Amino acid sequence: MFGSDTPRTNGPQPPAWRVIGASVRGAAHVRSGLPNQDAICWHPGSGTGPLVILAVSDGHGSDKCFRSHVGARAAVAAAMAALQDFLDGLDESPNYSAVKRWAGENLPQQIVRRWRESVADDLLETPFTREELERLRAEVGGEKERQVVLDPVLAYGATLLSVLMTPAFTLYLQLGDGDILDVSESGEVSRVPLPADARLFANATTSLCSEEAWREFRSHFQVLSGAPPALILVSTDGYANSFRDEAGFLQVGSDILEMIRTQGLTAVQESLQSWLTEASQDGSGDDITLGILCRLDALEIPLGRVPAGQLHSAREEGGIVLARCSQNGQGFGIRLEEQGRGRWIADWAFAIDEKVVGKRAYGQGEVTGTFEFDAAYPGCPHCGAPSIFQCACGEVACWDGRSSAATCPWCGAAVQLRDPIGSLKTRADR
């Protein structure tokens, strides 16, 4: 399929990608008792690899689309299956003109066909109930009810946005509203150049439930000749509608890139749910879904911090810093004692039960100044490393004292070790 006489050449290793994302129930849906009508899915399930797929769908909130939450889930599943089948049919050295043409013309048909099959299966297994139809009649009248009975897929209406990233090309597909943003390594944000659709105005949108929905897909196919974007953001319209203007929404792209670089992917993934929930509460009130494709080699390594030097005496006062071993992740405590104002000396280290580390079961405090080591400091009790570093996430881990980079056992971020430590959180020695 899509064969070419062009020989395949050996080049540099393709960049690895990581997909993260979240979907939250809108504030207005919480108040009205409606479910989250968005859906998100990616492949592979780990979210990591040189080839990734991301799909996001927004079920319509209108009264006659009362099963759109099911339609949204069916939409992302249909996109995943169709795009994987598409990839399976590619030759090693495809004709990209043919790939582009087939992707724009045939992939939408494959997606819509799969979506309609899924909707038909759901209707066969769970026919419309009397309560659903009576509620529809009460809310929008008998004519709308008749439309849904005659064309049941209307109840499942949803949009679809998907991105296929391969080592050789990127494919963007969109049906209906929503947003796809590219973020460069320098933090510049732009919209993916999909064809404009004048029908996407206010709350109006094209939909998978349209009679010829496949004709309404918009696509953009790009052969990769240079560096791909650092990030690609894919979101349902509830996110953009939570901002006052376009500039505020676009700023999200550069902000997220900066946060990933300073806090690490894991920390950002863990924060997405709360960020999107707050955006819905303060903004659109709609369900919000955001998926992010991250090119790992474009994420600048955050700076870690290391002690400035070493001293050889100390006096008996101080607190405990909780740390983890960089080799096995096990917890340990470091006793700090102050010699002179703002000069803190580490003179002892001891293993701590993981339950204590996980619960931070020591009194909280913070010391600021310079941090050095007594000659009697025994090193990490797990691996013997003689020093420590502080990750951009704020946590402390052991360090061999020589390497210029390390991996934080707390957040998983790779850190470049450069600047001296300025302050540390301590726990009172009990």
**Per-residue buried b or exposed e for 69-98, using 16+ beta carbons within 10 Å of the residue's own CB:** bbbbbbbbbbbbbbbeebeeebeeebbbee
Amino acid at 262: T
| pLDDT for residue 315 | 31
List all residues 6 or more positions away from 236 whose beta carbon is below 8 Å from its beta carbon. 38, 56, 57, 58, 159, 161, 177, 178, 286, 287, 288, 289, 290
Domain borders along the chain are 17-298, 303-428
| Mean pLDDT, residues 168-182 | 96
Residue 20, CB-side half-sphere exposure with 13 Å CA sphere: 17
Distance between CA atoms of residues 85 and 64, nearest Å: 33
Most confident of 3-7, 62-66, 115-119: 115-119
> CATH homologous superfamily for 17-298?
PPM-type phosphatase domain (3.60.40.10)
**How high is the mean pLDDT of the chain?**
86
pLDDT of residue 106: 94
pLDDT grade, residue 81 (50/70/90)?
Answer: very high
Nearest alpha carbon to residue 22 among 37, 39, 34: 39
Q: Who contacts 75 (Cβ-Cβ below 8 Å, separation ≥6)?
A: 39, 55, 57, 111, 115, 158, 159, 160, 208
| pLDDT tens track for 342-387 | 788 888 999 988 666 555 444 456 767 777 888 889 999 999 999 8
Answer whether 37's CB lies under 8 Å from 51's CB: no
Please write the tens of the pLDDT for every residue from 349-358: 999 886 665 5
Give the model confidence (pLDDT) of 235-283 as tens digits. Answer: 999 999 999 999 999 999 999 998 888 788 889 999 999 999 999 999 9
- Report the SS3 class of residue 35: coil
Average pLDDT over residues 319-335: 89
For 274-317, write each residue's pLDDT tens digit.
999 999 999 999 999 999 999 998 886 555 656 644 333 223 33
Percent of the chain with pLDDT over 70: 86
Tokens of 160: 């679809």
Using 50, 70 and 90 to split pLDDT, how confident is the model at 185? confident
* Nearest-angstrom CA–CA distance, 265 and 299: 9
Q: Is pLDDT above 80 for 128?
A: yes
Residue 18: pLDDT band by 50, 70, 90 thresholds? Answer: very high
What Rg do the C-alpha atoms of the chain give, in angstroms? 27
- Which of 9-13, 83-87, 130-134, 319-323 is predicted least confidently? 9-13
* pLDDT at residue 168 tops 60: yes
